A and B are shown apart, each in its own frame.
Chain A
Amino acid sequence: MNDSTAKNLALSHMWVAFSAFILACFMGEYQVLERSGLFDSLSSPSVYFASVSTHGVLMAFVLTTFFIMGFGYYTASHSLKVPVWNPKLAWFGFGLALTGVVMAAIPLLTGLASVLYTFYPPVQAHVAFYIGATLLVIGSWVWCAIMVVMFYQWKQANPGKTVPLAMFATTANAFLWLWTSTGVALEVLFQLIPWALGWMDTLDPGLARTLFAWTLHPIVYFWLIPAYTAFYVFVPKQAGAYLFSEEAARMAFIVLVVFSLPIGFHHLYMDPEQAKGWKLLHGLGTFIVTLPTLVTGFTVIASLEIAGRLRGGKGLFGWIGTLPWGNPMVLSVILSLLMLIFGGFGGIVNASYAMNAMIHNTAWVPGHFHLIFAGTTIIMYFAIAYYLWPVLVKKPLFSKSLALVQLWTWFIGMSIMTTPWHVLGLLGQPRRISSVQYNNLLTLSWEPYELLMILGGLVLLGSACLFFYLLIKTQFSASTEPFEGIVEYAEPLHEVKDLPEYLNDFKLWNKVIGVLMLISFGIPILQFFFMDTYGSSGWGY
């Protein structure tokens, strides 16, 4: 099969993703330096908030969306052994999303959209920013459509057969993203754009926040699912064994998709526009969505345990030492899981309703999501890139040992940076400030932690540069020997037999999601149309 289209799509998308990433890494390091207050010459809230807005948009929207699309095209084509459906449409989606990025980048970089990636009105950005973000999302919907079509075409051509796990997960993510992005799309299309264009005088910030909260939680699972996909379909094979349970994997994906959606109000615990009953309901759902992650931890580690034992590991924990730590994919998963334990715990604390007051909008929160997103998730993006690059560019990985150094330094840097960040949060330092101005003794206790964060940021920046360098070197090195990399999927330990249809399809689950969303968001959204609410005009910043 000629899969050059899928490879080109994957490579183009991933280059956009990682270019955004490296740019945003430099901004990140500038931000820790600026925020520490050590360098007077750097002090500028205007530059800082433009930078932090750009950093957030590049990392959370551009890196993720493009990586997921690129990975998805390749996975779909390779695991189903069919070419990408309608490549022209796929390239159109790519173009649309890229246009959106450029369109949003201009106001961001010129300080006309310093409203952060959460764009909370009524501070108002340049309308090009909102339109650009919308184009990016619409471009990603094209990807979703192609994934869903390929999934169902394959099922039609292979009746009764089990959809490969990699494609099952990718399609799960496509559905998840369609549901997820609806909230922010409603906000942008019916509130932000008409308001920024002046077609509408005011908007209700309470409604805007509610709609954004719809998106704000499941979006992190959209980012996370490629990492989990690698956990299940690549890691066991790379470690030298089998996937411990494919059924558990499928259930985990389904519960992730279904329960990450109706729970967004844990972002609104401290908000006045939603009542406590709804917050408690969403809080309960938030605890349910920890389950698939806990199960994933077990399944993946059990797969590793078998691999370690096959390699001669004895006793209760002897298998850990005998794992192939020199394999980038295996090293990544170990480091990823380590960060997941702490990041996941932080998430449980955030989810704990009233306890959220202890850390809400403090430095704890960016500490948490850097650990779980930039740590757990992104380290798997690295692993996937190291795994796929040789296949995509038909050249061997430039240096495996440097790749290992890169992964280790990323983990170390992330640990050095996020640990003080969490502590700062418990000490009450707010997030999203460009400098510490509070004339209070308490702030003295913050200083040493800020210094540590600079160090962590430096290590991370070095690691990111090394990653980028390795990709370039792999692709553009003058290798003459023909090279064919291969992608191998892990076999399940126990053959999958008599898989129930609900673990091989999403029709039922989409209905379940529809009902859950109606229950958890129906009245909370409708209330804004029944209450006497007062709109806000747009404000500068």
Chain B
Amino acid sequence: MKHLFLLTALIIPSFVSAKPASNMVWMPETLNFVENGNVQKGEQLAQSCASCHGEKGISAMGMFPSLAGQTANYTYKQLRDYADGKRDNPMMNSVAQGLSDQDSADLAAWFQSLPAAQNKASTQDVSKAELMVNQGNGKKILPPCFTCHGASGKGKRMDTPALAGQQSEYTVNTLMAYKKGTRHNDIYSRMRVIAKQLSDDEIKQLGELYQQMK
């Protein structure tokens, strides 16, 4: 009977939107374009971001992400996804729609050039998170976080984001949004599938762990 349900769920054509999760395509031209973003121009543009994301890309409020040290590809992709409505946030949607591709690349380059936040270690228990980051969980088919996000949370080539130094509240919110599916600009649900398997406690600890990571 269990099979039956599963099967039914799997072979019914889905009626949810058939649109791709993101329109971003990493052609070499795009990669080069982002890599050659103009840091100075980005710095100027970033002045209007400072109120939320901080002067040096380090946000003071947990609801807004720090962007300092973020990989340029990732920032660029998010800005384009906001502009396309692939990622929902009323404020960012309108901000991103006002940015050209060139502006997005410049901003991405600027934020990448900034040093990520260096936060002190707290006394909170992060043992579960450490396990997730380093070992993953074979039983739940969860690869260790470091395999994509890097051993020191600096992100990796193409578009996996840097997480080290990120506001813990922001990381937790993001993972919860993936878990609920309200954030869905990860192609093939890559991150949603993972977040769905994480317990709320693990998510909380992961937020803390990445906030402290240097």
By a beta-carbon cutoff of 8 Å, the part of chain A in contact with chain B is 43, 45-46, 201-202, 436-439, 535, 537-540
Residue of B nearest to A535 (CB): B28
B136 touches A539 (CB 8 A): no
Instruction: Tell whether, in the assembled complex, residue A437 and residue B28 are in contact, meaning their CB atoms are under 8 Å apart.
Output: no
B residues in contact with A43, CB < 8 Å: 135
User: Which chain A residues border B26 with CB–CB below 8 Å?
Assistant: 537
A202 to B147, CA, bound (A): 23
Q: Is the CB of A439 within 8 A of B138?
A: yes
Contact between chains at A439 and B157 (CB < 8 Å): no
Q: Is B158 an interface residue (CB 8 A)?
A: yes
B139 touches A201 (CB 8 A): no
Q: 15 interchain pairs (CB within 8 A)?
A: A43-B135, A45-B144, A45-B147, A46-B151, A202-B28, A437-B138, A437-B141, A439-B140, A439-B141, A537-B28, A537-B158, A539-B158, A540-B156, A540-B157, A540-B158
Write out the residue numbers on chain A whose beta carbons fall within 8 Å of the beta carbon of B138: 436-439
Which residue of chain A has the shortest Cβ distance to B141 in the bound complex? A439
CA A537 – CA B138 in complex, angstroms?
30
Residues of B within 8 A of A538 (CB): 157
A537:B151 contact, CB within 8 angstroms = no
Q: How far apart are A227's CB and chain B's nearest CB, in angstroms?
A: 40
Contacts known (A45-B147, A437-B136, A438-B138); A539 close to B32, Cβ less than 8 A: no
Interface check B95, CB cutoff 8 A = no
In the complex formed, the residue of A with least CB distance to B29 is: A201
Known contacts A45-B147, A438-B138, A537 near B31 by CB under 8 Å: yes
Tell me the bound Cα distance from A535 to B28 in angstroms: 9
B28 contact set on A, CB distance < 8 A? 201-202, 535, 537
Contact with A along B105-118 (1 / 0, CB 8 A): 00000000000000
CA distance in complex: A202, B158 (Å): 13
Which residues of chain B are near A540, meaning CB under 8 Å? 156-158
Specify which chain B residues have a CB less than 8 angstroms from the CB of A438 in the assembled complex: 138
A537 neighbours in B (Cβ, 8 Å) = 26, 28, 31, 158
Taking the closest CB of chain A, its distance from the CB of B165, in whole angstroms, is 20
CB-contacts of B151-175 with A (<8 A):
151, 156-158
Q: For residue A45, which residues in chain B have a CB less than 8 angstroms away from its CB?
A: 144, 147
Shortest B35–chain A CB gap in Å is 10
Query: Which residues of B have CB within 8 Å of A202?
Result: 28
Cα-based distance from A356 to B51 in the complex (angstroms): 61
Let me know if B135 and A201 touch, CB within 8 A.
no
Bound-state CA distance A150–B129 (Å) is 65
